[in-house]
Amino acid sequence: MLLYKSLIVISFLFLAVSLSHDQVEAYDVKAGPVRPMVKRDERRSLIETEYGRISAAKISGTDGTRRPYYLQFITLEPNSLFLPALLHSDMVFYVHTGRGRLSWADEDDIRTLDIRRGDVYRLQPGSVFYIESNLEQEREKLRIYAIFSNTEDDSYFEPVVGAYTSISDLILGFDRKVLQSAFKVSEDVIEELFNATRPRPIVHALPKKKKSLWAWEARFLKAFVGDRDALELEAMNGKKKKAKTYNILDADPDFKNCNGWSSTVDRKDLRLLKNSNIGIFMVNLTKGSMMGPHWNPMATEIAIVLHGQGMVRVVCPSTGKQSDCKNMRFKVEEGDAFAVPRFHPMAQMSFNNDSFVFVGFSTSTSTNYPQFLAGKRSVLQELDKQILSVSFNVSNTTINQLLARQEEYIILDCTSCAEEEESIMQEEIRREREEEEAREREKERKREEEARKRQEEEEARKREEEEARRREEEEERKRQEEEEEEARRREEEEKREQEEEERRREEARRQEEERQRREQEEEEEREREERREAEEEEREAWEKQQEKERRREEEAEREREREEEERQWDEGQQKEEGGEFVRAKVKISGDGNRMVLTNVLKL
Ligand SMILES: *[C@@H]1O[C@H](CO)[C@@H](O)[C@H](O)[C@H]1NC(C)=O
Ligand SMILES: *[C@@H]1O[C@H](CO)[C@@H](O)[C@H](O)[C@H]1NC(C)=O
Ligand SMILES: *[C@@H]1O[C@H](CO)[C@@H](O)[C@H](O)[C@H]1NC(C)=O
Ligand SMILES: *[C@@H]1O[C@H](CO)[C@@H](O)[C@H](O)[C@H]1NC(C)=O
Ligand SMILES: *[C@@H]1O[C@H](CO)[C@@H](O)[C@H](O)[C@H]1NC(C)=O
């Protein structure tokens, strides 16, 4: 007790090594895929330090309707310490390898338990526990496989708060003031608690002996574990109560034959399992053997492979919806976990070259008697043969043969069964992959087809667009041509009109010219006429003048002649008077002709 209590104090006060985010994760329950089989490398790693690691797996039976079970795989390097934690649920564990010491406090006591390979134990909800690994010569790691369950809730683990919580997280969740009052310590102590870097959940082990404790450490623990223990502690006289463990490897197997053995640990074997709904079993199949086909009427089995490899065949009991529940076969190897729900007939097989060992937790609230199908202890032996023959629709001879031959039971010889199963599985996987590939190809083909269709549509669309564009261009061209034609026609028209105009103008001009010419001609004609007339007149005038002239000349001539005559007359008058009269006479007449006449008459 002293050690335990001092450890807690020390872990609070001196081991506050390093705060890390995986502190939180260590208690996380998210644990990777939830399937009936979880490979070792599919576990979710919660923490990993140089002193150890914790990984977790959620596992469910084939029917996805129920909540998964929660497993943890705790590995401590030699001489390491898993720091105190408050357990939230039932924890049943199996020690796979190594040695160490489990310490825990429950309501009334503080206990320790030396643990080693093959040990199984159960811790109850509400326990505060921590684990140390021994520093041994072989330096073997302490490996613990644990399942967590809630007793009151049919073994299903409530994941909200996680499986356990670090004690320091619990304490330091309070305010300083509250803690100071609760623990009655100085501010410095609390400050130091808060100031410290939080350690990761697994640390290096402590020096074994601690000589003395300060008074405040005692008070601290008093607050934590209660007065009675604290008083014991203060007396430095505490003695841990040793608990007894159960080693499944030491116990006599429930069943054993040359094909292997199986062992179960239940309430009868381990008092501690009382009130627990978890049982533990272990199976060792020698080479080429089989745990005969059987089902569990009450329990779901969650198994972890400890050694070797094996094939597990699970038959779906449901004849209804095939998609939800289907027959399975899987190969498992060391570290893998697999679950088989109740009523699912199963068979586990070892290969010809190695034994196949697995430990399992069976979860049930009442006693589970596995029901085997084949061999002497077959449930079928209990049934009426004739009814059986009707069930199978075969002859009762066939049924008799079916049930008579197998001398062995439970664990049977099954040479090359695992190999056969494996090849079937591989074949199935291959076929599935092929189908998957075929589906992929089909999908790809469809995709391609769609792509092609799209492309074709695209091309068609393009062609249409092209066509439309071409038509448009064509129309445009036609329109242009028409416009050009129109323009040309208009031009020609204009030209023609111009020409016409020109011609008209020309015509007009010509006519004008013609007119002018005519006018001119007429003018000229007129002028000519006029001139002619004028000339005529002139000539006439001239002629008249001439005539006149002539006449005047003639007159003058005649004058002269008359004058001559007169002169001559005068000359004669002078001789003959009378002449005067004649002359007067002529003068009065004035006219040549008459003058002439007169003259003539006178003559
Ligand atoms: C808290 O830590 C800081 C450094 O991390 C240090 O300076 C300080 O003194 C510490 N306080 C106490 C009360 O230990
Ligand atoms: C399982 O059985 C084989 C063969 O009988 C034996 O060699 C092996 O040690 C056994 N394993 C365990 C874990 O008991
Ligand atoms: C045993 O045989 C199985 C299947 O043939 C093979 O996968 C496995 O590796 C073998 N184990 C050993 C230890 O040789
Ligand atoms: C039993 O099998 C035979 C064929 O072997 C078939 O004709 C017959 O209908 C079956 N009986 C029932 C009840 O299905
Ligand atoms: C088989 O069943 C028939 C009835 O269907 C019965 O008459 C006969 O005796 C049975 N044979 C054996 C070998 O049990």
Mean pLDDT across 82-104: 90
At 259 the pLDDT is 93
At 243 the pLDDT is 67
User: Confidence band (pLDDT; 50, 70, 90) for 497?
Assistant: confident
Q: Is the pTM of this model over 0.75?
A: no
Closest residue by Cα to residue 358 from 400, 396, 302, 316: 302
Counting from 1 in the atom list of ligand 2, the atom nearest the Cα of 287 is 4
Separation between Cα atoms, residue 114 and residue 245, nearest integer Å = 8
- pLDDT surpasses 90 at 512: no
- pLDDT surpasses 50 at 520: yes
**Range of lowest pLDDT (127-131, 220-224, 320-324):** 220-224
At 157 the pLDDT is 54
DSSP 8: H
At 18 the pLDDT is 29
**Range of lowest pLDDT (209-213, 318-322, 552-556):** 209-213
Higher pLDDT, 167 or 253: 253
- pLDDT surpasses 50 at 477: yes
Helix (H, G, I), strand (E, B) or coil at 404: helix
Whether 120 contacts 245, CB under 8 Å: yes
Closest residue by Cα to residue 70 from 425, 335, 254, 337: 337
Residue with tokens 């008092």: 271
Upper half-sphere CA count for residue 350 (Cβ side, 13 Å) = 27
Condensed to tens digits (0 to 9), the pLDDT of residues 186-207 reads 888 888 888 888 888 888 887 6
Task: Decide: 357 in ligand 2 pocket, CB within 6 A.
Answer: yes
Separation between Cα atoms, residue 148 and residue 58, nearest integer Å = 11
Q: Do strands 90-97 and 80-87 pair parallel, antiparallel, or not at all (unpaired)?
A: unpaired
- pLDDT surpasses 90 at 334: yes
Q: Residue 97 forms beta bridges with which residues?
A: 143
User: Confidence band (pLDDT; 50, 70, 90) for 222?
Assistant: very low
Q: How far away, in angstroms, is 396 Cα from ligand 5 center?
A: 6
At 577 the pLDDT is 53
- Nearest ligand, CA 400: 5
Counting from 1 in the atom list of ligand 5, the atom nearest the Cα of 385 is 14
Which helix (H) or strand (E) segment holds residue 203: the answer is: strand 202-204
Task: Decide: 116 in ligand 2 pocket, CB within 6 A.
Answer: no
Helix (H, G, I), strand (E, B) or coil at 61: coil
At 96 the pLDDT is 96
Q: Do strands 110-116 and 241-242 pair parallel, antiparallel, or not at all (unpaired)?
A: parallel
Condensed to tens digits (0 to 9), the pLDDT of residues 238-282 reads 444 566 778 999 989 989 999 999 998 877 777 777 777 888 999
DSSP 182: H
Cα dihedral 244, 247, 248, 251, rounded to 10, equals -90
Separation between Cα atoms, residue 23 and residue 45, nearest integer Å = 12
Percent of the chain surpassing pLDDT 70: 77
Which helix (H) or strand (E) segment holds residue 191: the answer is: helix 187-195
Burial of 67 (0-12, 13-18, 19+ CB in 10 A): middle
Instruction: Please give all residues whose beta carbon lies within 6 A of any atom in ligand 5, as ranges.
Output: 386, 396-397
Mean pLDDT across 80-109: 87
At 559 the pLDDT is 79
| Per-residue b or e along 437-459, where b marks 16 or more CB atoms closer than 10 Å to that residue's CB | eeeeeeeeeeeeeeeeeeeeeee
* Protein residue closest via CA to atom 11 of ligand 5: 396
- pLDDT surpasses 70 at 61: no
Mean pLDDT across 279-301: 91
* Protein residue closest via CA to atom 13 of ligand 5: 397
Condensed to tens digits (0 to 9), the pLDDT of residues 3-34 reads 344 334 333 333 333 233 333 333 334 444 46
At 563 the pLDDT is 79
Q: How far away, in angstroms, is 70 Cα from ligand 4 center?
A: 47
Mean pLDDT across 284-291: 94
* Protein residue closest via CA to atom 7 of ligand 3: 309
Q: How far away, in angstroms, is 23 Cα from ligand 1 center?
A: 22
User: Confidence band (pLDDT; 50, 70, 90) for 388?
Assistant: confident
As a whole number, the mean pLDDT across the chain is 78
Upper half-sphere CA count for residue 535 (Cβ side, 13 Å) = 7
Q: Where are the beta strands (DSSP E) in 238-374?
A: 241-242, 246-247, 255-257, 260-265, 278-285, 289-295, 300-307, 309-314, 328-333, 337-340, 346-350, 356-363, 371-372
Upper half-sphere CA count for residue 438 (Cβ side, 13 Å) = 6
Separation between Cα atoms, residue 281 and residue 367, nearest integer Å = 13
Condensed to tens digits (0 to 9), the pLDDT of residues 405-463 reads 777 788 989 999 999 999 999 998 888 888 888 888 888 888 888 888 888 888 888 88
Phi-psi domain of 98 (left: phi exceeds 0; alpha: psi -120 through 50; beta: other): left
At 191 the pLDDT is 87
At 35 the pLDDT is 76
Condensed to tens digits (0 to 9), the pLDDT of residues 117-142 reads 999 998 888 888 889 998 877 789 99
At 229 the pLDDT is 47
Condensed to tens digits (0 to 9), the pLDDT of residues 552-588 reads 888 888 878 877 777 776 666 665 555 454 554 444 4
Give the relative orientation of helices 385-392 and 396-404 as an angle to the nearest 10 degrees.
Answer: 110
Instruction: Please give all residues whose beta carbon lies within 6 A of any atom in ligand 1, as ranges.
Output: 191-192, 195
DSSP string, 535-555: HHHHHHHHHHHHHHHHHHHHH
Task: Decide: 355 in ligand 2 pocket, CB within 6 A.
Answer: yes
Counting from 1 in the atom list of ligand 1, the atom nearest the Cα of 195 is 1
Whether 79 contacts 58, CB under 8 Å: no
Instruction: Using alpha carbons only, give the angle 151, 156, 159 rounded to the nearest 5 degrees.
Output: 110
| Per-residue b or e along 8-25, where b marks 16 or more CB atoms closer than 10 Å to that residue's CB | bbbbbbebbbeebebbeb
The backbone torsions φ and ψ at residue 597, rounded to the nearest 5 degrees and listed phi first, read -65, -50
